[in-house]
Chain A
Amino acid sequence: MLALVVDDSAVIRTVLTRILSGLGYEVLAAAHGRDALNKLEAGARPDLVLVDWNMPEMNGYEFIRALRGDPRWRALPLMMVTTETEIDQVARALAAGANEYLMKPFTPEMVQDKLALLGLTSTQG
């Protein structure tokens, strides 16, 4: 399973890579939405995308809209992982096509719980 992590913070990319690796994912990282779209156009085939909201070049919201506007990526599981915590922001992200929403700060258990909601990993046990 391949996860695409899109965040302009190297620290967050490293943290998410460590958590997802522990759950058995290979991780491909991108620094902003445009970088992520380029990686997809270059042939990357992730099973899951985790995307920040506030990033340079193309922010997470614009990235989701671009992604969902392309039939190839319409069903790709996507979770926003962001410091934006207002209810309107959560609603906007979901309306744009995010399947889940995780607010920073987060723990590995929270990531795992959210992936379980997406049907991508089990929290049994």
Chain B
Amino acid sequence: MSVSPEDFRFVCAFMRDAAAIVLDAGKEYLVETRLGPVASRAGLSGIAELIREVRRDRHGSLARSVVDAMTTNETSFFRDVAPYQHLRQNVLPALINARGAERRLKIWCAAASSGQEPYSLAMLLSEHFPQLETWDLQILATDISQTMLARCRSGVYSQLEVNRGLPAALLIKYFRKNGLDWQVDERLRNRIEWREFNLVGRGWGVLPKFDLVLLRNVMIYFDLETKRGILANVRRVLRPDGYLFLGTAETTANLDDAFQPDSMHSSCFRQRAA
């Protein structure tokens, strides 16, 4: 299924308006591979007809499906390894020490995608910080895509997905075989609160203050002003001594001077003292 130049321009504008996502020229293939299945599932003849329908109703269920499909990311368990090592060795011990009196820790995975990140974090906490079992621990995982959130809640992953980045020892401890797939066990699933959230929407006011925010591999989709706006909002929901993690190739430099990189890990950021 190919996309015409005019339809591609429409999808670019639509995604910018609906989710502040910037699609560059040359990303036609992404539109074709992501929206082809949406058109098929909806019983439409192809992408052209799908886009005709979205033009007609920009807030209908098909428009919603297009946003879902275009915002779905490929990811893996313990993606990039090093951020999780930094969390385990430095960030979480420091936070647990700092919050010892209140015994409360709030963590936000702000772009949960297909759920591997929050589940990786939940496994890491369970394995290495069992003392948190008795704490008031909140792991909030949000995503703009309802489809992805439903997947996350089910905790079902294909063999190919559990093959990526997940230590075998954790696979046998936290997953059960379910036909050809693998499912996260119920105890771990219940440790995570899943919620729909649009990073460029107006919902920031209802968020609590977090000790740790993971906003990994999502800023890449936004334009400069949107990135600045999101980081300004993150500052409002991150406690002054909290930690922000971005993707390995992402930075706050030239976006928000209130953040500075953690000297021990380049994708971890702290707020400068006021």
B177 lies within 8 A of chain A by Cβ: yes
Interface members, chain B 59-100 (any A CB < 8 Å): 76, 78, 80-82
Q: How far is the CA of A46 from the CA of B35 in the complex (A)?
A: 47
Docked-complex contact A87 and B176, CB < 8 angstroms: yes
Q: How far is the CA of A117 from the CA of B246 in the complex (A)?
A: 21
Residue among A86, A100, A103, A105 with the most chain B CB within 10 A?
A: A103
Which residue of A is nearest B175, CB measured? Answer: A87
B169 lies within 8 A of chain A by Cβ: yes
Docked-complex contact B159 and A117, CB < 8 angstroms: no
**Chain A 73-112 interface 0/1 with B at a Cβ cutoff of 8 Å (1 = within):** 0000000000001110011011000101111011101100
Contact flag A90-B168 (CB < 8 Å), given A85-B159, A116-B81, A123-B81: yes
Docked-complex contact B76 and A113, CB < 8 angstroms: yes
> How many residues of chain B have a CB within 8 Å of chain A?
21
29 CB < 8 A contacts A-B: A85-B177, A86-B177, A87-B172, A87-B175, A87-B176, A87-B177, A90-B168, A90-B171, A90-B172, A91-B172, A94-B168, A94-B169, A100-B168, A101-B168, A101-B171, A103-B163, A106-B163, A107-B160, A109-B76, A109-B164, A110-B160, A110-B164, A113-B164, A116-B165, A122-B82, A124-B81, A124-B82, A124-B248, A125-B248
Chain B positions within 8 Å of A, measured between CB atoms, are 76, 78, 80-82, 159-160, 162-165, 167-169, 171-172, 175-177, 248-249
Chain A positions within 8 Å of B, measured between CB atoms, are 85-87, 90-91, 93-94, 98, 100-103, 105-107, 109-110, 113, 116-117, 122-125
